[in-house]
């Protein structure tokens, strides 16, 4: 057995008992707040000098930056542009006599968005915002525009599962790797569970699906509502080649296929009580992870019977996965196949649209879902995970 380290991050169930009413503070991080940018006390975040962002109950958002020597400040936020159905261009701030730059926009629909400030041409995170993203790309800031209560991706007062970080040595990539594994509430080692292998895209690391994607809270909430089967979710790092390597496309699929078979699946099946038959395994991913699902998962019908291709599509699949597409028995071998994309990705030339047409041409049954009021971003992928993928996996286990 491959040696590895484990660090468990447990989310205990919340109590709905009588509690005193406490005013929310701006980005206080006292609780897992569903409205962290709603400011009721006019408290500046710790180590910041202005309140930014500041979100009202009506969805109006004010960004602030104290930069008296700056000549120009812009807001770069393609995800917000998409939600507002606007042209993708930066918004200009206005500078006050006190050296504080301010911008107010909205109303913005409830969701979680990413953005950056562009200060005299340099893109940076919002120094007043403690909610920042982490991935295989320069940092970014997160904006939470809240609704009237916790969203489907927020921590709610339901039983919560456990997230474990595994660090293991990969003989395929000759180095130390990480993977996060979610076990459902009430995980019982006397039982066996199906497994979803959930992959990120270019620029996403193993932590992306639980940090930005909120996969663990989405699963907790669906399981509590009886809308999803209790399952294990393994979130490996499917970055196996430097994204800017000129041979990235030529190398990534073979390397990930080997990593999946010889490292990832053996670790999960060696440490967790799982069913080890193909009907109890699913593989899904966003963007590049969706292409891994196609170009690795579709070629591994001995391992998987369910698939999710989110905001991805390889129009060359007619030549790259002909065995899958031309298999006359494919609809009996595949339990579930989702092809999904964002509201603002739905264009005729989009790879997911073309892939959907290829599947229809070959008579491959699948769910085709467009939604989330996002584009190529987490608004889309959180929605697809919640609305379609998790509720439709492993139905025979119910």
14: pLDDT strictly greater than 80: no
Pairing of strands 306-310, 281-286: parallel
Taking CA atoms, 313 is separated from 274, 358, 366, in Å, by: 29, 10, 14
Q: Which residues lie across from 198 on neighbouring strands?
A: 284
The predicted model gives 107-132 an average pLDDT of 96
Whole-number pLDDT of residue 206: 92
220: pLDDT strictly greater than 80: yes
Whole-number pLDDT of residue 25: 54
Q: Which residue has the tokens 């597409």?
A: 325
CA angle 249, 252, 254 (to 5 degrees): 115
Higher-scoring residue by pLDDT: 42, 299? 299
DSSP assignment of 234-269 equals EEE----S-TT-TTHHHHHHHHHHHHIIIIIHHHHH
Count of C-beta atoms within a 10 Å radius of residue 160: 23
Percent of the chain with pLDDT over 90: 78
Whole-number pLDDT of residue 397: 60
The predicted model gives 213-229 an average pLDDT of 98
Question: Predicted confidence band at 24 (pLDDT cuts at 50, 70, 90)?
Answer: low
What class does CATH assign to 54-145? Answer: mainly beta
92: pLDDT strictly greater than 60: yes
Percent of the chain with pLDDT over 70: 93
38: pLDDT strictly greater than 60: yes
pLDDT in tens, 161-173: 999 999 999 999 9
64: pLDDT strictly greater than 90: yes
Structure tokens at 398: 């119910």
For the chain, domain boundaries: 54-145, 162-397
Question: Predicted confidence band at 377 (pLDDT cuts at 50, 70, 90)?
Answer: very high
Where do runs of H (alpha helix) occur along 76-207?
78-83
Whole-number pLDDT of residue 327: 97
12: pLDDT strictly greater than 50: no
The predicted model gives 73-85 an average pLDDT of 93
Whole-number pLDDT of residue 241: 87
Task: Please state, in angstroms and rounded to a whole number, the distance separating the CA atoms of residues 278 and 290.
Answer: 19
333: pLDDT strictly greater than 60: yes
Whole-number pLDDT of residue 243: 77
Which distant-in-sequence residues (6+ apart) come within 8 Å of 257 by Cβ?
296, 299, 300
18: pLDDT strictly greater than 50: no
Secondary element (H or E) of residue 288: helix 288-292
Q: Which of 83-87, 290-294, 342-346 has the lowest mean pLDDT?
A: 83-87
Say if residues 207 and 180 touch (Cβ distance below 8 Å): yes
Q: Which residue has the tokens 């800031």?
A: 141
Question: Predicted confidence band at 17 (pLDDT cuts at 50, 70, 90)?
Answer: very low
Whole-number pLDDT of residue 46: 82
Q: In what order do the strands lie in the sheet with 175-183?
A: 4-10, 162-170, 175-183, 232-236, 195-199, 281-286, 306-310, 336-341, 367-370
88: pLDDT strictly greater than 90: no
Say if residues 37 and 54 touch (Cβ distance below 8 Å): yes
Whole-number pLDDT of residue 334: 98
What CATH number does the domain located at 162-397 have?
Answer: 3.40.50.1820
Structure tokens at 133: 């993203």
Q: Which of 20-24, 51-55, 69-73, 356-360 has the lowest mean pLDDT?
A: 20-24
158: pLDDT strictly greater than 80: yes
Cα dihedral value 85, 87, 89, 95, nearest 10: -70
Mean pLDDT across the chain: 91
Count of C-beta atoms within a 10 Å radius of residue 281: 25
Whole-number pLDDT of residue 87: 75
């Amino acid at each position: 057995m491959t040696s590895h380290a484990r660090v468990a991050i447990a989310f205990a169930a919340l109590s709905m008992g009588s509690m005193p009413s406490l005013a929310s503070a701006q980005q206080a991080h006292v609780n897992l707040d569903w409205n962290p940018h709603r400011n009721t006390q006019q408290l500046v975040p710790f180590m910041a000098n202005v309140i930014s962002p500041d979100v009202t109950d009506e969805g109006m958002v004010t960004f602030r930056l104290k930069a008296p020597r700056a000549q120009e400040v812009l807001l770069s936020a393609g995800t917000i542009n998409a939600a507002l159905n606007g042209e993708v261009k930066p918004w200009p701030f206005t500078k006050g006599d006190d050296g504080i730059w301010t911008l107010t926009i909205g109303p913005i629909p409830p969701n979680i968005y990413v953005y950056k400030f562009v200060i005299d041409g340099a893109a940076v995170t919002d120094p007043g915002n403690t909610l920042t993203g982490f991935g295989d790309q320069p940092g970014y800031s997160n904006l939470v525009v809240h609704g009237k209560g916790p969203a489907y991706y927020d921590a709610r007062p339901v039983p919560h599962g456990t997230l474990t970080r595994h660090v293991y040595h990969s003989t395929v990539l000759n180095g130390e790797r990480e993977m996060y594994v979610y076990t459902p509430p009430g995980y019982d080692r006397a039982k066996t569970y199906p497994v979803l292998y959930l992959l990120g895209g270019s620029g996403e690391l193993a932590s992306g699906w639980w940090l930005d994607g909120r996969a663990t809270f989405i699963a907790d909430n669906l399981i509590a509502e009886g809308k999803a089967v209790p399952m294990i979710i393994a979130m490996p790092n499917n970055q196996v080649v430097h994204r800017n390597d000129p041979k990235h496309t030529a190398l990534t699929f073979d390397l990930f296929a080997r990593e999946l078979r010889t490292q990832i699946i053996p670790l999960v099946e060696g440490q967790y009580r799982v069913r080890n038959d193909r009907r109890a395994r699913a593989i899904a991913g966003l963007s590049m992870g969706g292409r891994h699902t196609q170009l690795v998962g579709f070629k591994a019908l001995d391992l998987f019977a369910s698939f999710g291709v989110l905001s991805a599509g390889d129009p060359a699949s007619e030549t790259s996965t002909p065995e899958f597409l031309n298999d006359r028995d494919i609809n009996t071998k595949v339990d579930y196949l989702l092809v999904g994309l964002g509201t603002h990705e739905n264009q005729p030339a989009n790879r997911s649209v073309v892939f959907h047409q290829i599947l229809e041409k070959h008579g491959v049954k699948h769910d085709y879902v467009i939604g989330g009021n996002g584009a190529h971003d987490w608004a889309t992928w959180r929605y697809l995970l919640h609305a379609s993928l998790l509720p439709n996996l492993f139905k025979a286990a119910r």
